[in-house]
Amino acid sequence: MQRIRLLDILRGFAIIGTLGTNIWIFASVGDIDFITGQVGVPFWSSAEAMVQALFTLFVNGKFLGMLTILFGVGLEIKRRQAERHLRPWPGIYIWSSFLLFLDGLIHFILVMEYDVLMSYAVTAIIVAYIVKRSTKVIKRTMIIAGSIHVAFMVMLTMAMSSGEAEMGAMDTAVYTTGSWWEQVLYRLDHFLIFRAEAIFIIPMNILLFLSGVMLMRSGAFAADEKGKAIRRKMLIWGIGVGGPLHLLVLMSPELFAMSQRYLFAPLLALGYMALIAKLMEKREDNWLAARIEKVGKMALSCYIMQNILASIIFYGWGLNLHGFAKDYFAWFPVAMWVLIVVILIIFSHVWLRYFKLGPFEWVWKQMTSITVKQKPTATTNNKNA
């Protein structure tokens, strides 16, 4: 099956966009008040507050939603490959999902407590069996999963607005003065607390995975007129409906911040995907898109690498620059986000000149190939290919 360039570009944007949210967590050494709307600083109070508010408004949850949908697209591609090679489904995909779970667990323990890969792995296993059923069953499952997620978010929002539920405070000292090993032990000691989000977003993940499956089956990423027509509908629903809903967050961050990330953002993500595709249609030789495409081809490696770099920059065991985030408020985290993105672009561009797969993608492929009776593909690029 020929690789779809648009999907690599979208994955690249999703990866660096996800960092656009996570960079604030690293800069605030674990404080997630900006996500929950408990910052207590009006966005109009200063230029710095407005930068953070707008950055969060346009980034928070949107690219994570895009990444989740693209995981569903990838699942459908894997299913088609299995069908084409007459392999049982889900078969090897379950082993691949287990490796993703293991990768996420290691990443959670060693690097970042808000890793999403473990949640994706569990979702992938569930969805792998659902996609074997009829379209009617898939759509019914999407409605059920979506309803469960919306109901939970409504209850959580009501509880938080009434003061009955609060996000637990983190011990920021372990990130500012503690060693790397102390952070590892801290994550293990608070495993269930840190994994709460990964658990409660599973219904949302199921909905978005299946949305990606259905979009792929409908031809939404094809370059033909049918694909363009579907993307126009995605743009209308995503920007036209998801955009106005986000204005509620500016009106009442405390009340709608959680809804912004977990309800409104996935809808706007569809609009982002269609908008990026539209821009690519106008200029296929876009220099930036070509660079972002390389990041998308090494999505797993770049995701892990960007979190490692952010940890080194902000945490006490690294460069310990979290203080600059306080002194320069929004400007420094944004500058560090740009710096890491540039590093990812350069790294992926250089790496893919010599190798076919990213480093973590290569390891994953070797581990996956253990279960199939075929010789693993070499990683070195064939320039004549």
> Which amino acid, residue 91?
G
What number of residues does the chain have? Answer: 385
Mean pLDDT to the nearest integer, 326-354:
89
Listed residue (186, 179, 111) closest to 318, CA to CA: 179
Question: How many Cα atoms occupy the beta-carbon half-sphere of 63 within 13 Å?
Answer: 24
244 preceded by cis ω (within 30°)? no
3-state SS record for 358-371:
CHHHHHHHHHHHCC
Average pLDDT over residues 259-263: 85
pLDDT digits (tens, 9 = 90+) for 33-53: 655 544 555 556 666 667 777
Which has the closest alpha carbon to 351: 380, 384, 309? Answer: 380
Q: Supply the pLDDT for residue 377.
A: 44
Encode pLDDT of 94-127 as tens digits.
999 999 999 999 999 999 998 999 999 999 999 9
d(CA 37, CA 242): 19
pTM attached to this predicted model:
0.89
Q: Which of the pair, 347 or 322, is modelled with greater confidence? A: 347
Return the pLDDT at 364. 87
Is residue 120 a contact partner of residue 205, using CB atoms and an 8 Å limit? yes
Closest CA to 207 of 279, 286, 263, 276: 263
Which residues make Cβ contacts (< 8 Å) with residue 270, sequence separation at least 6? 69, 211, 234, 235, 237, 238, 242
Least confidently predicted of 41-50, 56-65, 178-187, 362-371:
41-50
Find the range with the poorest average confidence among 102-106, 205-209, 258-262, 270-274: 258-262
Quickly count: other Cβ atoms within 10 Å of residue 205's Cβ.
Answer: 26
Residue 322 pLDDT greater than 90, yes or no: no
pLDDT score of 327 more than 60: no
C-alpha dist (Å) from residue 122 to 18, 78, 83, 118, 139: 20, 16, 22, 6, 20
pLDDT tens column, 212-222:
999 999 999 99
Question: How many angstroms separate the CA atoms of 306 and 344, rounded?
Answer: 7
Whether the predicted pLDDT of 378 surpasses 80: no
Comparing 50-59, 356-365, 372-381, the range with the smallest average pLDDT is: 372-381
Pairwise CA distance, residues 28 & 159, whole Å? 25
Percent over 90 (pLDDT), the chain:
60
Query: Is the distance from CB of 43 to CB of 53 less than 8 angstroms?
Result: yes
Report the Cα–Cα distance between both ends of the chain, in Å, rounded: 15
**Is the CB of residue 257 less than 8 Å from the CB of residue 37?**
yes
Rounded to the nearest 10 degrees, what angle do helices 299-314 and 331-354 cross at? 140
Query: Tell me, what's the pLDDT at 156?
Result: 80
* Residue 373's pLDDT band (cuts 50, 70, 90): low
pLDDT of the residue at 160: 67
Greatest mean pLDDT among 40-54, 118-132, 166-180, 323-337: 118-132
Name the pLDDT band for 10 (thresholds 50, 70, 90): very high
Helix axes 92-110, 62-84, angle to 10 degrees: 150
Q: Locate all alpha helices (DSSP H) within 111-172, ordered by sequence.
A: 117-130, 135-161
- CB-CB contact of 354 with 380 (8 Å): yes
Q: What is the mean pLDDT of residues 185-202?
A: 93
Q: How does residue 78 score in pLDDT terms, banded at 50, 70 and 90?
A: very high
Whether omega before 90 lies within 30 degrees of 0, making that bond cis, reads yes
Reading the block at residue 313, the tokens are: 């920059």
Residue given tokens 């709608």 in the structure block: 256
Q: What pLDDT, in 10s, does the model give residues 237-257?
A: 999 998 888 777 777 767 777
Taking 50 as the threshold, does the pLDDT of residue 313 lie above it?
yes
The candidate with the shortest Cα–Cα distance to 264, out of 353, 172, 157, is 157
Rounded CA separation 120/204 (Å)? 11
Specify burial of residue 126 (Cβ count, 10 A radius: 0-12, 13-18, 19+). Answer: middle
Domain ranges for the chain: 5-369
Q: What is the mean pLDDT of residues 314-334?
A: 81
| Pairwise CA distance, residues 277 & 59, whole Å | 18
Q: Can you tell me the distance from the alpha carbon of 210 to that of 181, in angstroms, rounded to the nearest whole number?
A: 38
Looking at every residue in the chain, the average pLDDT score rounds to 86
